[in-house]
Structure 1
Amino acid sequence: MSESPTLSRQRAPLASRRILVVEDEYFLADDIGKTLRALGAEIAGPVGYIEDAVEILYDGSAVDAAVLDVNLRTGMIYPVARALRARHVPFVFTTGYDRISIISEFQDVLLLEKPIDLAAMARKLAALIDGARS
């Protein structure tokens, strides 16, 4: 007997979803990737540079959502956020700073403050993807 898509989605809420991870802290990037993979996601990255994230966005493959560290060593993530928004791809920001550090253009984006609750992040990301698809 085959498992229902709803039950399958509950067990692996990010199954067959490709998630871009942009994070310049190696261990956190690794933890985010492992958490999302455990829930069925395919990871694009993780990458720690804006240029690498842009390259992934324009390599011809689809991205279903993204986890973006706001402040990378090489600058702010806003060019990537703008490209994702233009494509209607949901994303969340991660940061060690307060919401006040986010420019007004992106005040509506879900902000997860570090240290991140990875399980909660994954649930919120899955909800964003489901919301974008409906």
Structure 2
Amino acid sequence: MEMTGMRILVLEDEYLIGLDLERIAEESGAQSVQLIATVGELQAQIANETDYDLAILEVQARGVSSLDSAAEMQRRGLPIVFTTAYDSQANGVPGFPDIPVVAKPYGKAQILQAVAKALANSQHNPASRRNGASGEFV
């Protein structure tokens, strides 16, 4: 699964894991990756209506649930992938049956497979929002 030209928001409270997710996205062609560590930062991104094509969200970041923020992003049509360190959430997060979940530890293949599923499940099409010649988001 390629992420060519995509703008990706990553919520991950473990710095090295966040850097690994950033690397995976960049190697897969992402235009930009915004790495944040707290749900408060996530809420600020939502409030600012920053334009992303995909969100990779840790279910619990520094002990705070990201599910309320995920619900708002889902309402806006943004494809989401959840990551989790909790075995109880590895097979799905209650209330989010269509959002793929990747359990830690994970590798590039698992992330890319989850991204492909999230994009397939979503009506969100990043290519349709690009300005033809410049490739900028409109």
Please give the root-mean-square deviation of Cα atoms over the aligned residues, in Å. 2.3
Amino acid aligned to 1:91: I
Given the two structures, how large is their TM-score scaled by the length of structure 2?
A: 0.76
Amino acid aligned to 2:47: Y
Amino acid aligned to 1:15: T
Which is worse superposed, 62-71 or 35-44? 35-44
Residues 37, 91 of structure 1: alpha-carbon distance in 2 compared, 3 angstrom cutoff: same
Amino acid aligned to 1:73: R
Matched, 1:79 2:68: yes
Mapped partners of 1:60, 1:30: distance in 2: 24
Count the aligned residue pairs: 123
Judge conservation of contact 1:93–1:110 (CA < 8 Å) in 2. yes
Which is worse superposed, 120-129 or 30-39? 120-129
Judge conservation of contact 1:53–1:80 (CA < 8 Å) in 2. yes
Gaps of 5+ in 2: 126-138
Alpha-carbon offset, residue 108 of structure 1: 3.5
Given the two structures, how large is their TM-score scaled by the length of structure 1?
A: 0.78
**Residue in structure 2 matched with residue 3 of structure 1 by the alignment:** none
Matched, 1:42 2:12: no
Identity of aligned residues (%): 25
**Residue in structure 2 matched with residue 124 of structure 1 by the alignment:** 114
Gaps of 5+ in 1: 1-9
